[in-house]
Every structure is written in structure tokens, then in C-alpha cells.
Amino acid sequence: MDFPILSSIILLPTIGAFFLFFAKESKNKSTQTVKYVSLFVTITNFFISIYIWYLFDKTSADFQFLEEKEWLEGFINYKVGIDGISILFIILTTFITPICILSVINSINSRLKDFIIAILIMESLMIGVFCSLDLIIFYLFFEGCLIPMFLIIGIWGGERRVYSAFKFFLYTLLGSVLMLIAIIVIYLTAETTDLIKLYELGIDVRFQNLLWLAFFSSFAVKTPMWPVHTWLPDAHVEAPTAGSVLLAAILLKMAGYGFIRFSLGLFPIASEFFTPLVYFLSLIAIIYTSLVALMQDDIKKLIAYSSVAHMGYVTLGIFTINQQGLEGSIIQMISHGLVSAALFLSVGVLYDRFHSRLIKTYGGLVLVMPKYSVLLMIFALSAIGLPGTTGFVGEFLILIGAFRDSFLVATIATLGVILCAAYMLWLYKRVIFGALINNNLFKANDLNKSEMIFLTIIAIPTLFFGFYPEPLLSTIEVSVKGLIETYNYNLINVVENNG
């Protein structure tokens, strides 16, 4: 492959943002320009990523579409490439971004252009995270996301936006600086930060535990795992709808992806050692945050806590380190990406109409917004993991994986499914059914055209892959197998080398 196709999908949104930057800001026309340019760029990017998926060789566990270029001479090379795991996340990113932009154009009035530029730059950085095969390049993209997200929360957020933006930024920065130290230490011991070479070389067993912890501190904050999850509800509640969508659908996945790619790939011995810790934290996240979610009276906060619980399943599945568990985690991340995006968009729909996120202000919406109620039901059921939705595939595989590893852990995790059903259905009941308790609600319009479009577009893959997950599974199967083989190989090899 001569044409640098990965670099081009990384760069394309930035180029779009660059053009928008120079677009004149006048009243009505500019909205049109901004709309068309940004949608054109992001949809093109989506089709390119689908095309990459089509070209992608599913039978090989190697990294494909490799690009390497000398960057910091003698230190770091710019290296990107994808395997079956990354491609799905890239498609998720390119799929969610145009939807975000659609929703933004509808609901944001002030400084629309700046908002869209921030989203486009975010897209570039997020795709970069999923493509990069060099630790420093990964770190660059990973941290770079902080800047636009900080601005999105801070400029367009709700009342306590400043507090939330600072909390988000400082929490995640604090987590990541330790990872930076770990990356430099890896460079100094192994003389390279190239991921593929590091997979082959393995990391010195003496350092593994500390390095693993350093990486963990960064990913755990970003995932977010209990007890460092507290920034997430704040950030979600105050962020504008599109910000919440990006945060839940993609930013959180960067950490899950990081666990798979780096924690498992680089530090097998430490991963083995710390598995009980991750199990413990994941189980607490699943049970505890589900209980917390039950008691929320703010819809967005409820969904935010449910995100923490769902990510708990993801981390649980990743550290089962077997085929089903890992595949389940990846599917669960994709599913959660779609579902949480849709749920936040649905809340956005309500918020645009009634300017309230409190559950108690709603009731009986099914009478005035039937289309909305149907779509929300699909997403709520998918969040619960009802068979026939992507949520089910993911959770089911994770639980199988967990049962193979530990009966107790799997049993406790299964309890979480019940709790999830409890808070989701209760939320649905309170918002959609019952009497119309509020005069405002009578005047409500059902979904308008563009809202209908973006919610349906998300509903389609949610249901399709729920009934037929084969395309997803076949894409990741070989890569996951390869990952587990490398993992076991390094585990045994390093142990042998070090007695």
C-alpha cells in the first residue's frame, strides 16, 4: 500500500477544520458553509474508513497499512498501522463524529464554527490514538484530546462547566504524566518505543509491575474505573450533548483500547499479577455504580454512572485474557459507543425541548412523542443487554470469558445485569409512561427530521449487529487470537529467561 491512507484519515478532519477556520463568520450563510464542509469531511472520512475495512485482510493478525516515517531522528518514528481491533474503533469514531456534528448544528447557537472545529480536531486525534504504533505518538494523540475536550466542556457546557472542565483536565493529566515517565523508561531500557518491536522484545520483568501501574493510572482514570471515576459524571452533566457523546462514545474507549494494546501486549507478567486487582475494581464499578445510578434524579448523570458500570464489564472482560472475554470487551465497547451516544443524544433531544434533565419533570412522553419513545426503548434495551442488541453480544461473551476464569467473579458480574435492567427500565418508565405531569409536555413536538435521522442511523447498527455480530467478530477474531498468543508467548518466554 503506497498511498498513506491511515495518515490521510487522520489528517482529513484537521484539514477540514483548517478550512473552516478561515471561513467568514456571518449570520446565516456561514452556518450553511460550516454545516456542509464539516459534514462532507466527516462523511467522506467515514466512507474511507469503511473502505479500509473492506481492504483489510481479516485472516492475518499482523498490523496492516503500515506507515513509517522518521520523525524525531534517532528517537521516535512516526508509525501507524491497524489490526482487527483498531479498525473497529476507527469506524466507530468516524461513524459517531458526523452524528455529533448533525446534533450540534441543531442545538448550538453560539460560536458554532468554533465548536465544529474542535470536534473535527478531536476526530483527528482520536483516530490517531487508535492507529498509532509508537508509544510516544500514542501519548501525543492521547493527551492532545484533552485540549479540545476541555474547551468543549468549558465553553459550551452547563452551569458548573468550569469546575467540570478543570476536574476533567487535571484528573486525566495527572493520570497520564505517570504514563509518560513509564514510556520514557521503556525507551531507555529497550532503546525503542516501536510497539511491534517491543512486542517481540518483551519488557524486562523487573520493571513490569511498576510500568504496568503507571500505564494503569492513566487508563484507569480515563476508563474510568472506580474509585477514580468521579470526574465522569461531572464532565458528562455539564458537557453539551455533542461533548457527552464524544466523551462516552470514543474518549472512554481509548482507555479500553490502551488496556488491550499496551497493558496486555507489553506487560503480560504484570497483567497476570494484577488481574485480581482489576477484577476487584471492575466488580465494584459494576455493582456500586449501578446502585448509584439507581438513585440519580438527573438523566444525564444516570447514564454517566451506567457508563462507568458498562466500562467495568469491559475491563473485566479484557483481563480475563481469553478469546471470549476479549472479544466480548471489544464488542461491548463498540456497543456502548453506539448506545451511550444514542442515549446522550436522546437526552439532548429532551433538553432542547424542555431545558431540564431532571427525571421528575418528565412523564407520559409516549403520548406526545411516540417515535422518540420507540427509539429510546431500543437504546435502553440495548444498554441492558437484551438479546437481539449489540449489548447482549458483548455482555454475554464477557460473562462466558469470566466464567472460564472464575465462577465467583462471573456470578457477581451477572448481578450487575439485573441492576442495569432495574435502573434503565425504571428510568424509561418514569420518563415515557405515566401521566403527562407537566403542561409544557403537552406542547412537545415529536422528533424532527434530523433528530430522526441521527437516532435511526445509530439504531440500525445496534440492532443489526445484535442479530448478526459475525462481521464484527470475524474482524477481531484473528487479531485477538494473535494478541493472546503473543501474550502467552511473552509470559512463558520472559519467565524462562529470568529463571
Partner 1 sequence: MDKLNIIYPEIFISLSIMFLLLLGVFKNNSSNLVISLSVVALIGTLILIFGYPINTNLEIFNGSYKIDYMSSYMKILTILSGIFVLLTSLKFLKIFKILNIEYPILILCSILGMMVMISSNDLIVFYIGLELQSLALYVLAAFNRDEIKSSEAGLKYFVLSALSSGLLLYGCSLIYGFSGTTNFDEISYLMNNDQYGLTFGIVFIIVGLAFKISAVPFHMWAPDVYEGSPTSVTLFFAVAPKVAALTVIIRFLYVPFINVIDQWQLIIIFLSIASMIFGSIAAIGQKNLKRLIAYSSIGHMGYALAGLCVGTNLGIQSSIIYISIYLVMNFGFFSCLFMLKRNDKYFENIEDLSGLAKNHPLISLSLMIILFSLAGIPPLAGFFAKLYIFKAVLHQSMYYLAIIGLLTTVIAAYYYLRIIKIMYFDLEKEKYDKDYNLGLKFTLTVSTILILFYFVYPSKLINIISQINII
Report the interface residues with partner 1, using CB under 8 A: 70-73, 75, 114, 136, 139-141, 143-144, 146-147, 150-151, 154-155, 161-162, 165-166, 169-170, 173-174, 177-178, 180-181, 184-185, 187-188
Of 147 and 196, the one with the shorter C-beta distance to partner 1 is 147
Residue 23 CB, shortest distance to partner 1, in Å, is 13
Closest CA to 129 of 112, 142, 117: 142
Residue 450 CB, shortest distance to partner 1, in Å, is 28
Of 166 and 426, the one with the shorter C-beta distance to partner 1 is 166
Of 21 and 467, the one with the shorter C-beta distance to partner 1 is 21
Of 104 and 302, the one with the shorter C-beta distance to partner 1 is 104
Residue 356 CB, shortest distance to partner 1, in Å, is 23
Closest CA to 472 of 89, 40, 70: 89
Of 203 and 383, the one with the shorter C-beta distance to partner 1 is 203
Residue 233 CB, shortest distance to partner 1, in Å, is 20
CA pair distance 110, 114, nearest whole angstrom: 9
CA pair distance 34, 105, nearest whole angstrom: 9
Cis peptide before 471 (omega within 30 of 0): no
Residue 22 CB, shortest distance to partner 1, in Å, is 11
Decide: 301 and 309 in contact? Cβ < 8 Å.
no
The values of phi and psi at residue 445, to 5°, are -95, 150
Beta strands in 218-364 (DSSP E): none
The values of phi and psi at residue 283, to 5°, are -65, -45
Where b means 16+ CB within 10 Å and e means fewer, 229-239 reads: bebbbbbbbbb
Residue 152 CB, shortest distance to partner 1, in Å, is 11
Residue 28 CB, shortest distance to partner 1, in Å, is 20
What's at 392, amino acid-wise? F
266, exposed or middle or buried, with CB in 10 Å at 0-12, 13-18, 19+? Answer: buried
Residue 479 CB, shortest distance to partner 1, in Å, is 27
Decide: 212 and 267 in contact? Cβ < 8 Å.
yes
Cell numbers found for residue 378: 431500543
Decide: 139 and 179 in contact? Cβ < 8 Å.
yes
CA pair distance 41, 385, nearest whole angstrom: 33
Of 73 and 496, the one with the shorter C-beta distance to partner 1 is 73
Of 78 and 403, the one with the shorter C-beta distance to partner 1 is 78
Residue 172's SS3 state is helix
Question: Could you tell me the CA-to-CA distances from 297 to 238, 285, 300 in Å, in that order?
Answer: 15, 20, 9
Residue 111 CB, shortest distance to partner 1, in Å, is 8
Of 31 and 322, the one with the shorter C-beta distance to partner 1 is 31
Give CA 71 to chain center in angstroms. Answer: 28
What's at 352, amino acid-wise? D
Of 163 and 426, the one with the shorter C-beta distance to partner 1 is 163
